[in-house]
Amino acid sequence: MGQHRLDVMQRRQALLAKIAGQREQIAELGTRWQPALRLADGAWVAARFMRSHPALLAGLTVLTVLVAVRRNGLVGLVKGARRVWKAYRYFNEFSKKIRPRL
């Protein structure tokens, strides 16, 4: 009985040492990913802001269209509209994938 208890205690010590090493690895990963996660968080906040202020988004869109027409004419407007449409579709699909399911 004493030997079994000693084996259990040694196993426990080995597991605790392994856990401590894993904690250090997780902390290192967290510091490495922190800038990227901070950027993603900022983008998420900006997207939520734009979604909650559709009038501001419409105004910025109109302003962009006016600038595009003045600079590049109708062809530039069509190219810009195509880029905006592709970005909208991409963002829409992306938001569907990451939206939490209720």
pLDDT digits (tens, 9 = 90+) for 11-20: 999 999 999 9
Report pLDDT digits (tens) over 34-87.
888 888 999 999 888 888 888 988 888 888 878 777 777 777 778 878 888 898
For residue 90, pLDDT over 90 is answered with no
What pLDDT, on the 0 to 100 scale, is given for residue 1?
63
pLDDT at residue 99, rounded to an integer: 64
DSSP the chain: -HHHHHHHHHHHHHHHHHHHHHHHHHHHHHHHHHHHHHHHHHHHHHHHHHHH-HHHHHHHHHHHHHHHHHHHHHHHHHHHHHHHHHHHHHHHHHHHHHSPP-
